[in-house]
Amino acid sequence: MSAVSDAAPGAEALRAEIRLLALLLAIFAAIKIAACSLAYASAVVAAGGVDVMGGHTYYWLPQVLYYTLFLAVARRLRRFEARSRTTMLALSILSIVATVLYTVADFTIGHGRQDPAMAIAIKLRLLLSGGDVWDLVFPLLAIFRLWKPEVRSVFENE
């Protein structure tokens, strides 16, 4: 009997932790949706209302779509839907991989290749003062918290 009562508070604490994580991820996604949408609208206005070739706006639309999906999965994670854990892990890993690939591409074929010291300074400025650090923190937090076997068992029992 005591093993059951000890397991229940532990499982309930884990469920509360997942709910808090889901709330933080949803807030993060909502802020990113607003920021990317505003940047997209600004790019369209800067292009004179029409971006025929998509050169000014192609960067923002995939981000708006990605963070909309991220928000939807965070909401499902809060409800402990079975596939939400796996989907959030996949989206978080995708985010980290995309960030790393973008940085590598910048230093191999982009502007960072010509002046690596300046590129490092710009990356650090964006990371520390521009808020890009949150693009790493929240996906890593999701990966570290949702990867645990005990979290997997919570979602399998639902």
Give the residue carrying structure tokens 């709330």. Answer: 23
Query: Is the pLDDT assigned to residue 128 strictly greater than 70?
Result: yes
pLDDT reported for residue 7: 55
Q: What is the pLDDT of residue 116?
A: 87
Domain boundaries in the chain? Answer: 2-156
Find the mean pLDDT for residues 80-86: 93
pLDDT tens column, 135-152: 999 999 999 999 998 998
pLDDT score recorded for residue 1:
41
Q: Which two tokens stand for residue 113?
A: 């290749």
Of the candidates 62, 61, 67, 40, which has an alpha carbon nearest to the alpha carbon of residue 134? 67
pLDDT tens track for 61-78? 889 999 999 999 999 999
Task: Tell me the mean pLDDT in the region 120-138.
Answer: 86
- Residue 68 · residue 33 · CB < 8 Å: yes
Q: At 108, list the tokens.
A: 């191999």
d(CA 75, CA 81): 9
